[in-house]
Amino acid sequence: MAKGLVLVVDDEAPIRDILSFYLKRAGYQVLTSATGVEALEEMGRSRPDLIISDLRMPEMSGDEFCRQVKGDTATQDIYFIILSAMEGTASRISGLALGADDLIPKPFHAQEVLAKVTSAFRLIAMQNEIKRQNRELTSFQQRVQAEMGLAAAFQKGLLPKLPGIANGLRYTHRYLPAAGIGGDIYAVVPLPEGSTALMIADVSGHGVPAALISAMVKTSFENQVRLGGGPLAWAQGMNEDLCRATLAEQFATAWLGRLDPGTNRLHHVAAGHCAPLRLAGGTQGGLRRSEVLRGRGSMLGIDPQFTYTLQEAEFLPGDRLVLYTDGLVEVEREDRTMLEEAGLRRICAELPAETEAAAEAVLTQTLAFNHPAPFEDDVTLVVLDRLA
Amino acid sequence: MLNIQSRQEGTSSVVSIHGKVNFEVTAQLREVIRETVATAQPRLLVINLEGVSFIDSSGLGLLVAARNSVDKSGGRLHLCCLPAPVKKTFDQTNLSNYFSIFSTEQDALRGA
């Protein structure tokens, strides 16, 4: 098998013949042309891997030929060696400045040319390998990006549809995954008897693994809710589900609640998650003092023996609930401080009456506080209003 | 920036952590703990959190995984010197009872 295709361009037939003889003997396939114009025609028919060209030729000089080869994206990667009778460093530099890859002074030793051609083909092989790997990487990256796009769309589909209306509640969300796809999830499930099951969760880590688990968290929550019971039973069931399914260091913080409009009570369980804020009369707008719905419980998915504690709060018509994941309040600013729960409470002390406007105000003011630091973690914010 | 130091105290290893423990640094911390457990095979691993200004849920998850892996190899994991904000995070996630927590490094080493 030929080692590669070499095009020899020289107006002197003896030089073409000598080079051709040695190159063929060394196992290369050789084409010859007497002028640059002829060579370009030849290249229209077959693409050489390497060109050895004289500099001084009639019709088209070697300079011009080199410029045309190197100026065309289709041929610029062809390894170009100039044969030059011109003496001196200046002419050698000018040859390379044209874009030639190497230069051999005339008169030359055929062995020297062969050695240069051999080393050039080593380089060509390396370049081809790099190009092949690049192509593979690029196509792999494109495939991954396309899949990530699909996965992100799928994940968005797991979120409640907006505008959210259920059982006398109006809610909206802001969902900002850090890596296009993330480990945050929330759910609002209306129950037949008029109460509503609520869940927000934040899976450890980022990206695809977290997203896969977040889908599982949602399924597990819906299954638990279907089994009946309340937030305490749901938390225990979800903890067992996650312990079975996740690896070490994969777990979720979660907050679960059940809102019963008949009794105006919100029963809730914290599983290592940041405590939601209740704004009594929050749907009227104006100044409100937030109540932190604090709970105490460990993350889901660590130890099936963990137990949880049921908490209870009042939740009246006109009240507002703000659920969030820690990415919202744990951005470190340049002065090394973070918004934290206290800062979020300050922001929530005065929000617009309308649900959508309230969510926007929280996000805008949080971003303004962090500025210029961006969110680093997945961020989810849910504003849920009980209609008066 | 996270600064982690590891040293031997008899048959025990002490890992001291300084800085903010969040998702960005868990890989670094995981490696130090893994290395310490693998090479020293300590009967007691003490993690000193005195210099930790903040720990998020991925940091907590790492500590839980560390405890589980030390448990499996028949050793024990003690935490010590939790600053107030870190203690609060442990309390809120109910992990204060999951770990053996000591107020000083000496106590943690003695296991008292």
pLDDT at A356: 97
Q: What is the pLDDT of residue B112?
A: 58
Subunit contact B94:A297, Cβ cutoff 8 A: yes
Taking only the tens of pLDDT, chain A with its 388 residues reads 568 999 999 999 999 999 999 999 999 999 999 999 999 999 999 999 999 999 888 888 888 899 999 999 999 999 999 988 766 666 666 667 778 999 888 888 989 999 999 999 999 999 999 999 999 999 999 999 999 999 999 999 999 999 999 999 999 999 999 888 889 999 999 998 899 999 999 998 778 888 999 999 999 999 999 999 999 999 999 999 999 987 777 889 999 999 999 999 999 999 999 999 999 999 999 999 999 999 989 899 988 888 999 999 999 999 999 999 999 998 888 888 899 999 999 999 999 999 999 999 999 999 999 999 999 889 999 999 999 8
Same domain, A209 and A303: yes
Question: Residue A248 and residue B95: Cβ atoms within 8 Å?
Answer: no
Of A313, A284, A298, nearest to A255 by C-alpha is: A298
**Same domain, yes or no, for A70 and A219?**
no
Same-domain pairing of A370 and A247: yes
- Residue A105: what pLDDT? 87
- Distance CA(A9)–CA(A3), nearest Å, equals 19
- Which pLDDT score, from 0 to 100, does residue A97 have? 76
- Determine the pLDDT at residue B91: 86
Q: Contact A292/A270 with Cβ under 8 angstroms?
A: no
A226 shares a domain with A335: yes
B39-64 burial, b at 16+ Cβ within 10 Å, e below that, comes to eeebebbbbbbeebebbbbbbbbbbb
- Can you give the pTM of this predicted structure? 0.78
Of the partner residues B57, B64, B91, the one whose CB lies closest to the CB of residue A202: B57
Q: How many domains does chain A have?
A: 2
Using DSSP's 3-state secondary structure scheme, residue A384 falls into strand
3-class SS of residue A306: coil
**Helix or strand (DSSP H, E) at A164:** strand A164-166
Instruction: Tell me which residue range forms the domain holding B92.
Output: 3-110
Q: Give every residue of chain B whose pLDDT is below 70, as ranges.
A: 112
CB atoms closer than 10 angstroms to residue A155: 22
Of A249, A104, A337, nearest to B26 (Cα)?
A249
Q: Domain check: are A17 and A94 in the same one?
A: yes
Sheet with A265-271: strands ordered across: A184-190, A196-203, A252-260, A265-271, A311-314
In a domain, A71, yes or no: yes
* CATH code: domain of residue A234: 3.60.40.10
- Residue A265 phi, psi dihedral angles, 5° rounding: -110, 145
Q: Would you say A363 and A174 are in contact if contact means Cβ atoms under 8 Å apart?
A: yes
Coil/strand/helix, residue B77: strand
User: Chain A within 8 Å of B80 (Cβ-Cβ)?
Assistant: no
Q: State residue A189's pLDDT score.
A: 96
- Give A191-210 as a DSSP string: -TTS-EEEEEEEESS-HHHH
The answer to whether the CB of A257 falls within 8 A of the CB of A231 is: yes
Tokens, residue B34: 């893994």
Phi and psi at A177, nearest 5°, equal -70, 140
ipTM given for this complex: 0.78
Q: Residue B37 CB: number of other CB atoms within 10 A?
A: 19
3-state secondary structure of A304: coil
Domain count across chain B: 1
CA atoms within 13 A on the CB side of A39: 32
Q: What is the CATH number of the domain that holds A43?
A: 3.40.50.2300
CATH number for the domain including B54?
3.30.750.24
Rounded Cα distance between B74 and B69, Å, is 9
Residue A93's pLDDT is 67
**End-to-end Cα spacing for chain B:** 32
Q: Do A204 and B64 touch (CB under 8 A)?
A: no
Residue of A nearest to B95 (CA): A298
Query: Which pair of tokens denotes residue A238?
Result: 């979800």
pLDDT of residue A171: 97
Domain boundary residue among A90, A114, A132? Answer: A132
Range of the domain at A193: 159-386
Verify whether the Cβ–Cβ distance B60 to A296 is below 8 Å: no
* A182 and A278 housed in the same domain: yes
Candidates B20, B23, B91; nearest CB to A205:
B23
Interface of A with B (CB under 8 A): 202, 204-206, 248-251, 253, 270, 272, 275, 294, 296-299, 302-303, 306, 326, 330, 332, 338, 376-377
Q: Could you tell me if residue A301 is left (phi over 0), alpha (psi between -120 and 50 degrees) or otherwise beta?
A: left
**Residue B6 sits at the chain A interface (C-beta within 8 Å):** no
Claim to verify: residue A119 and residue A217 sit in the same structural domain: no
Answer whether residue A141 is part of any domain. Answer: no
Asked if A163 and A188 count as a contact pair (C-beta separation under 8 A), the reply is: no
Query: Nearest C-alpha of chain B: how many angstroms from A185?
Result: 16
Q: Give A-chain residues touching B60 at CB under 8 angstroms.
A: 272, 299
